[in-house]
Structure 1
Amino acid sequence: MTTIKEIILSANPANNSFEEYLTTYANQVGEAINEFIPRGTHPDMDRYLYDPLLAYSQNGGKRHRPLICFAACMAVGGDVDKALSAAAAIEHFHTAALIHDDIADDAELRRGETCLHLSEGVGLAINMGDLGLCLVNGTVIADSLLDDTTKVRVVSELIDMTRRTIEGQALDLGWARDGRYDITPEDYLVMATHKTAHYSGAVPLAVGAIVGGGTDAQVEALRNYGLDTGLAFQIQDDLLNLIGAEESTKKDFRSDITEGKRTLVVVHALRHSSQRDRLVEILSAKEKDPEVLAEAVQIMEDAGSIEYARNYAENLTSIAKNRLIDMVEPSPSRELLLSMADWFVNRLQ
């Protein structure tokens, strides 16, 4: 089996932008991560559990979470092979979260494919999500490359990450269930930080630094960088769902409006738009008509909410980059992580 070190060093990541880094390594890293999905002892276990989960994970996107985990490990001078189990754990947690999230949101598409709860049934999809959660801590515990102290430290991070994500999801779902339109931008930032920023930024970077043997100061600097850029990542996704050129060609374009999501754009518009009542009406109706969805976006645009969210994400990444430069020694991997922040902002345009 090719090691992660051999994959990452087969080309020179120092010469890559973050986007090139993702493009170059996503598929190979995805294959390595999917090797942690086991096989059943009965053929129907594969049919009803392992095969659909594997197919779902193979349609895995850009793999930015494991790849930034490796980058953090390299940034503190560590052995990236030791980061594989933690990186895989976080990616399988991501898979589980998406499966369960789609069920809760009554979503139809994920990455251009029919959601698992529609293709396989709700019960089996819940079970596959549960398997993804099962793969989180067990993957690290079984890693022979890690000493017991490091395993305990990483698993503690993963447990805390799981709780924080569930807390954020509770806010997101609860606000929708109760028809809450009194949510402030500050409320949104708490929700998004818990639901997304910890597992999409802070924890991948922190555990990469931990298994790489980084100092406590390095671990915390990378964690904080991940919190800021992870939050910017979520705001970016919110914006792209509304105005992204590539997203506009997809069937789930503007699905956040259909699902009544309290995004930063929405909560800002609810506080500043003269057409608040009309926006609430659209958000409450599970609307799918493209013309009505476009009307909602125009309301947000007129309220300055899209520009507000874009500026907020840009400021987050700018501050985060300055902090990382101050706290982490120069290296090709640090430059790669700085490029990550630039990539987030550039994709907002």
Structure 2
Amino acid sequence: METINDIIGDIPSAFTFDDFLSAYARRVGDLVNVYIPRGAHPDMDRYLYDPLKDFSKNGGKRHRPLICFAACKAVGGDMALATSAAAAIEHFHTAALIHDDIADEGELRRGKPCMHLTEGVGLAINVGDLALSTVNGTVVDDPALSDATKVRVISELIAMTRRTIEGQALDIGWARDGRYDVTPEDYLAMATHKTAHYSGATPLAVGAIIGGGTDEQVEALRTYGLATGLAFQIQDDLLNLIGMEESTKKDFRNDITEGKRTLVVVHALANGSEAQRARLVEILSARTKDAAQLSEAVDIMEAVGSIEYARGYAQQLTDDAKAQLVAALDPSPARDVLLSMADWFVTRLR
């Protein structure tokens, strides 16, 4: 089996984060998919393992396992030791997406119909559960890691899982209960829990732990991941509203249809006129898919300045985070890639 050191080796000094993803995403996807097991009965593969592998093969940028490897290398560690943990985080991401699509009644994921539409809700839930079950087991079964490292990494993965579920509960609950009293501070708490821990903080912290980083380096990378992971979610919310390519890859503007309390929405509700707020609440409550009404909601957010506010907030997060990481890590191509990640998170187009 190809190892991560075969795939990456030495990171070229001129690499940006986009270069890093483009060069290694496909092969890293193949590597983490090796950790998806097979069933003891052929129908287990048909109804469980094959749908999981097919979903994971249609992967995204693989940024979570890749930043786990980069953090390991940035503190001077052996990336091969981080392979099981990187795979575990990627499979957690898969589980979260499958379950999230069911909760949101999504239609498209990565340009294909959502699993609950092709396999049915029951089987999709079960596949998501399987992906969750592989998270800790993948690390436990790794003979290359010491018991002490396994315990520390699994503790990180358990905390990541709980925080993500907490954030999802807020996101779903606010929409279900028609809550329009949500503040920007409430949104930031939700997004930090739902996305920032597993999309930034935990992959970086775990990579540094396995790489033998100091406590100071681990915490610096965790803090960096929280800030950039939050910026990632804000940009994701913006792309759902105004992205160009997003309409062909995901349910464009379905955050409005689902009544999501994004940073853009809560800012508009807090700062718009009484008429703007009333109309925005009306559209958010209607669960409409009408393109004209969705566009009207975006126009209101534009007029209030909420889209620019969210852009500026994400940019400030990443600017501050980059300055802190420069102070915490010695210069290296791996550190440069991680610094470039912050810019990619707020400028990506898909």
TM over 0.5, yes or no? Answer: yes
| Secondary structure of 2:13 counterpart | helix
Determine whether 1:301 maps to 2:305: no
Contact 1:22 1:64 (8 Å CA) reproduced? yes
Contact 2:109 2:250 (8 Å CA) reproduced? no
CA drift at 1:249? 4.0
Distance in 1 (alpha carbons) for counterparts of 2:119 and 2:302: 39
| Secondary structure of 1:15 counterpart | coil
The amino acid across from 2:58 in the alignment is: N
Q: Give 4+ residue runs of structure 1 displaced > 6 Å after superposition.
A: none
Map 1:3-14; keep pairs closer than 5 Å: 3-9=3-9, 12-14=11-13
The amino acid across from 2:328 in the alignment is: M
User: What's the CA shift string for 1:311-344, capped at 9, x where partnerless?
Assistant: 0000000000000011111111111100111112
Distance in 1 (alpha carbons) for counterparts of 2:118 and 2:74: 41
Moved more, 112-121 or 311-320: 112-121
In structure 2, the partner of 1:343 is 344
Distance in 2 (alpha carbons) for counterparts of 1:13 and 1:260: 44
In structure 2, the partner of 1:277 is 278
In structure 1, the partner of 2:105 is 106
In structure 1, the partner of 2:325 is 324
Q: Which runs of 5+ in 1 are unaligned?
A: none
Moved more, 248-257 or 267-276: 248-257
- CA distance change for structure 1 residues 156 and 251 in 2, over 3 Å: closer, same or farther? closer
In structure 2, the partner of 1:310 is 311
The amino acid across from 2:308 in the alignment is: E
CA drift at 1:345? 2.5
Map 1:1-349; keep pairs closer than 5 Å: 1-9=1-9, 12-250=11-249, 252-274=251-273, 275-347=276-348
Distance in 2 (alpha carbons) for counterparts of 1:66 and 1:290: 36
Moved more, 104-113 or 217-226: 104-113
Moved more, 313-322 or 104-113: 104-113
TM-score after normalising by structure 1: 0.98
User: What's the CA shift string for 1:8-50, capped at 9, x where partnerless?
Assistant: 12x7443211001001100000000001111111110000000
Q: Which runs of 5+ in 2 are unaligned?
A: none
Q: How many residues align?
A: 348
Distance in 2 (alpha carbons) for counterparts of 1:177 and 1:141: 38
The percent of aligned pairs where both chains have the same amino acid is 74
Moved more, 201-210 or 268-277: 268-277
Moved more, 253-262 or 229-238: 253-262
The amino acid across from 2:7 in the alignment is: I
Aligned Cα root-mean-square deviation (Å): 1.2
CA drift at 1:248? 3.6
Contact 1:137 1:155 (8 Å CA) reproduced? yes
Distance in 2 (alpha carbons) for counterparts of 1:214 and 1:173: 37
The amino acid across from 2:242 in the alignment is: I
User: What's the CA shift string for 1:58-91, capped at 9, x where partnerless?
Assistant: 1110000000000000000000000110000000
Contact 2:228 2:317 (8 Å CA) reproduced? yes
Distance in 1 (alpha carbons) for counterparts of 2:116 and 2:247: 24
Distance in 1 (alpha carbons) for counterparts of 2:162 and 2:69: 23
